[in-house]
Chain A
Amino acid sequence: MKMLKTLAAGVSALALTVGAAQAQISDGVVKIGVLTDMAATYSDLAGSGAVAAAEMAVADFGGTVAGAPIEILTADHQNKADIAANKAREWFENENVDSLAELVTTSVALAVFEIAKQQNKIALVSGAASSPLTNDACIPTGIHYTYNTRALAVGTGSAVVKEGGDSWYFLTANYAFGEALQRDVSAVVEAEGGTVLGASKHPFPSSDFSSFVLQAQASGAKVVGLANAGADTTNAIKAANEFGLVASGQSLAALLMFITDVHALGLDTAQGIQLTTGFYWDLNDETRAWSQKFFEKTGTMPTMVQAGVYSSVSHYLKGIEATGSDDTDTVMAWMRANPVNDFFAKGGEIRTDGRMVHDMYLVKVKSPSESKGPWDYYEVLRTIPGEEAYGPLSESTCPTK
């Protein structure tokens, strides 16, 4: 009898705590909106793979957090800022979505940041690249998770200058991202004693780069920097090969390249390219194990953006689990106070300007003979410490840091 009483008390106490925890979760469910490019230029590096990564994070959490179910919503923003902003507002106002994840394309991330700031909701940016997201354009509830243009500049830009590539010409995608990447790389090149001879701003997206390649050849620069991404980068590399840019002594620096781009180009064309990445599947046992699971689900190895989506969503869910609340400020405080430790990052730190600081990798694309099999593409040349890649917080121009 006594035992039964104790048991009853225990159960009701447990019920009470669960009830209390649930009361902290607004409308009893945690909703995460994955807003990404599902069908256009960036859909391979983010897209359905990013959705799969978010779903894996939720599944690894058992589908519930702090007693509340977790729901993933997805939408295609088509790389258009207005569509993204409208969807974000609709989700926040009508669907009670608690946070947004992925957000590839800088113009999209900038537009969504405005909405997230107004609504005081968390935006976990993985795909967009531009450093202004944690500088002038930062918001108190924004986290820029996977990489940024500054880290790419520090990684690839300085490596190329150190090898003697001291005069540069850029082929730049004509929108916020391309400009940010060109600006950040120019700063690194000039700081290392190099010069920037000029740039061609090409429409986004472009399919024929021959004309821009010709201008780059005419510039006489030692290095032609590709300040673009996705299909633009692969097409530019193909045109550069075709028009003998590399054969005539100039070298090519792909400033932002994803493993899916290397896969699409094939090692014959892509071999020897140096690039900076925030993640590679074949770094250690942990990355291999997670990536294998991802591969079984999607049929491709993860890009850094997709791995970053998993990690950022997990860290967000851990915050809710630990604090028992999905309140924006509470979860943000927890996420900043606790380091990110998973297969993606070790000791990753989310700063007050929203930057997640973690180690980056300078890698070189293997030649077909070096590659042992499908997706065996990178040789890691150097691990770039987070502080070096992203710079100190004091350098950030974020007004609310």
Chain B
Amino acid sequence: MLADLLGIPPQLLFGQLLLGLISGAFYAVLSLGLAVIFGMLNIVNFAHGALYMLGAFASYFLLKILGINYWGALILAPIIVGAAGIVIERFLLRRLAGVDHLYGLLLTFGLALVIEGLFVKFFGASGLPYPTPEALKGGVNLGFMFVPWYRAWVVVAAVIVCVFTWWLFERTKVGAYLRAGTENPTLLQAFGVNVPLLTTLAYGYGVALAGLAGVLAAPITQVAPLMGSNLIITVFAVVVIGGMGSIMGAAVTGLAMGMIEGLTKVFWPEASATVIFVIMAIVLVIRPAGLFGRTA
């Protein structure tokens, strides 16, 4: 009906919606990490795109040097990236605790430029190829479009990660501690909880999510130093639309924005790079705290 109305064949419309869901899966996992970090550390983590890229490179090197395949990388690469994140938090971000958000933003932005610059220097901008895992090669023809198994797997993986993260932060004791730590760290510490350790782990987890998204992306795009630099801006817009720090909001908005972007690619491809920012501007005017954010 809608398809007839807009003069677009329904096959194309469904296809684009499905593709939008797939790119939305990446937005969801990445913005989830950002939301966790902002929620727990009050840091606007501009290094997220670079860490996502590190995840992809980690899986590339695991395969090339150690012969560890995709499934191994899916576990190991996020751990490696998470460890890198913990080092960053311990030695750099911790020094900025208590100062204005802007400093954290500048530090992480600078860090991203340095990491990406070094990777361009050593590996070039065109990137390196990463093969699709054997088990997920090929695809299924749904009648209106051909869906590669790998892309379907990405959506499944993203949903699992989102649900797990939500459960971890909203339904477990660790999550309760973390949320309490954001509300009142001093009081929580008085109860004998190691708040700095919690913060470090939260950053490590958020960053590991970026690393995981990098592994998921490796077979789809080139493993390239700048793969995160364009994505990160869009993902920030997603986080702002969803509400900074809202875990549920980040995941749902990620998937929704992917689909809206997918539709724009049919109707007005030139605008597909900007549509999310237009929505962000509108949301900021109507609900400054974001769609799922709690107004302070």
Contact = CB atoms under 8 A, between A and B. Distances in A.
Interface of A: 39-45, 47, 174, 200-203, 205-208, 210-212, 214-215, 217-218, 230-231, 234-235, 238-239, 242-244, 248, 260-261, 263-266, 268-269, 300
Given A39-B117, A207-B230, A269-B129, A231 B224 contact: yes
Contacts of B265: 200, 211-212, 215
B269 A200 contact: yes
B126 A47 contact: no
Contacts of A238: 220-222
B12 A218 contact: yes
A252 B272 CA distance: 24
Given A200-B269, A203-B270, A266 B129 contact: yes
B22 A44 contact: no
Contacts of A208: 23, 220-221
Q: Is the interface of B mostly helix, strand, loop or mixed?
A: helix
B233 interface: no
The 10 tightest CB contacts between A and B, nearest first, are A264-B126, A203-B273, A211-B265, A266-B129, A44-B126, A43-B125, A44-B124, A244-B146, A242-B148, A214-B15
Contacts of B9: 218
Interface string B126-166: 11110110000001000001101011000000000000000
A182 to B, nearest CB: 13
Nearest to A270: B129
A228 B117 CA distance: 24
B138 to A, nearest CB: 8
B19 A210 contact: yes
A215 B12 contact: yes
Interface residues of B, number: 40
A9 B220 CA distance: 74
Given A42-B125, A234-B126, 11 more contacts: A47-B125, A201-B270, A208-B23, A211-B16, A214-B16, A230-B126, A231-B125, A234-B222, A242-B132, A260-B126, A269-B129
A184 B89 CA distance: 53
A265 B9 CA distance: 33
Nearest to A208: B23
Contact of A264 (B117, B120, B129, B273): B129
Contacts of B188: none
Contacts of A215: 12, 265-266, 269
B127 A231 contact: yes
A192 B121 CA distance: 44
Contacts of B146: 217, 243-244, 248
Nearest to B117: A39
A265 B124 CA distance: 13
Interface string B102-134: 000000000000000100100011111101100
A230 B15 CA distance: 27
B227 interface: yes
Nearest to B128: A264
Contacts of A47: 125
Interface string B213-233: 000000011101011001100
A33 B272 CA distance: 36
A39 B125 contact: yes
**Most A CB atoms within 10 A — which of B11, B125, B265?**
B125
B262 interface: yes
Contacts of B139: 242-244
Interface in B217-260: 220-222, 224, 226-227, 230-231
**Most A CB atoms within 10 A — which of B16, B120, B124?**
B124
Interface string B11-44: 1100110011011000000000000000000000
B19 A214 contact: yes
A195 B15 CA distance: 26
B27 to A, nearest CB: 11
B195 to A, nearest CB: 38
A320 B126 CA distance: 36
26 contacts: A39-B120, A41-B125, A42-B125, A44-B126, A47-B125, A174-B269, A201-B270, A202-B269, A203-B273, A206-B273, A208-B23, A210-B23, A211-B262, A211-B266, A214-B19, A217-B145, A217-B146, A235-B222, A242-B139, A243-B146, A248-B146, A264-B124, A264-B126, A264-B222, A268-B129, A268-B131
Nearest to B26: A208
A210 B128 CA distance: 19
A235 B220 CA distance: 8
A217 B230 CA distance: 26
B124 A260 contact: yes
Contacts of A174: 269-270
A238 B15 CA distance: 18
Given A203-B272, A238-B221, A210 B22 contact: yes
Nearest to A219: B12
Contacts of B148: 242-244
**Most A CB atoms within 10 A — which of B9, B150, B265, B273?**
B265
A269 B120 CA distance: 23
Nearest to B131: A268
